[in-house]
Amino acid sequence: MAEEHLGLFGVSKSRRVGTSKWHAHRLTKGQVQYACVDTCLSFHLGVHLATESQRNQSRNSNKPRSKHAGGAMVTAATTVSTRLRRSTRTHDEYVVCVGGRQVVATVTSHAGAARRWVYTTRWRLGCRLRHDGGATVGMGVQWTPPFRATKGGAEPRPGTLQLCVGHRCLVFQLAHAGAVPAVLRRFLADDRVVFVAYGVRSDCRKLEEHHGLEVARTVELRAVPGIGNTSMERMAEEHLGWGGVSKPREVGTSRWDARRLTKMQVQYACVDAYLSFRLAVHVAAAPDSTSTSSSYSASASSSPETSTSS
């Protein structure tokens, strides 16, 4: 619940602590932490769900509804907006709002900024990586299509690599990065992390051919049972209830090798990785999540081949 609704990863309630002696005269630090986390999460989840309920009631009273799809009520349109929060010497930070949920996107070609993002992400995922069998990361790769490139016939090089975990996204501008940080290489090669994407085989091929980046474990969204071989926009509508989320073709085929990405490019890249993450979490949390989760490794090896457009 903390992961799905609050975006808090790695929060754990140790079974060993939960079954310890709570009648002890003096509680241990672990017991105090366990009890505090328990009540704190209950409070924040209650506030969050109550706020979401009020927001949905208000939204649904003002907007016409369409059919039920995949168990989710689809509204007429899901608002997506982007604003620049701050700009520094090494990176830009945007807030991308998708259906009322805020995602903080770090856009950079600076190895140091990318390194900090990965270190922070690994720290947040610490418990899941050590004890819970791994973590899920939404992934995407954008590139400038051949008809916009200056040299004809060459395989398009990846312009950006975007990763999303919870409500944090990294848009790493490979086209202008002097080097890929070693910690990012290790993160992609960590077999405890599953990278989920739409067209993952094509993305991984480009990453390996042009940057020597190997992604250890991948899942093709279209190969996940219950998702279906359809567009990402349709997936978001059917499984998340987000109707109207779009990935404009003119943005997808724009110059991803530009030194400074436009606000629409940042939004496109962030939405791409965020939807991959949310869809993976949603399917894993479904009633038949046991069979779905066990099929992840099989899906990785049987994912359908993709086209060369993003």
CA atoms within 13 A on the CB side of 274: 29
CB 197 within 8 Å of CB 220: yes
Q: Give the strand pairing for 135-143 and 193-197.
A: parallel
Containing 206, the helix (H) or strand (E) segment is: helix 200-211
> What residues make up the domain containing 181?
73-301
| CATH number, domain with residue 219 | 3.30.420.10
Same domain, 10 and 90: no
Predicted TM-score (pTM) of this structure: 0.71
Same domain, 140 and 281: yes
Domain count, the chain: 2
Radius of gyration of the chain (CA): 20
Same domain, 154 and 220: yes
Whole-angstrom Cα distance, residue 39 to residue 42?
5
| DSSP designation for 309 | -
Same domain, 196 and 53: no
Return per-residue pLDDT of the chain as tens, 310 residues: 666 655 555 667 788 888 888 888 888 988 788 888 778 767 666 655 655 555 455 445 444 444 444 444 444 477 889 999 999 999 999 999 998 899 999 999 999 999 999 999 999 988 777 776 689 999 999 998 876 555 555 667 899 999 999 999 999 999 999 889 999 999 999 999 999 999 999 999 999 999 999 999 999 999 988 888 899 999 999 999 898 888 999 999 999 999 999 999 999 999 999 999 999 998 876 655 444 444 454 444 344 443 334 4
Torsion-angle region of 66 (φ positive above 0: left; ψ -120 to 50: alpha; else: beta): beta
Same domain, 152 and 39: no
Same domain, 47 and 170: no
Whole-angstrom Cα distance, residue 224 to residue 70?
14
Residue 146 resides in a domain: yes
Q: Which residues pair with 204 in a beta bridge?
A: none
Same domain, 233 and 203: yes
Phi, psi for 27 (deg, rounded to 5): -75, 150
Residue 310 resides in a domain: no
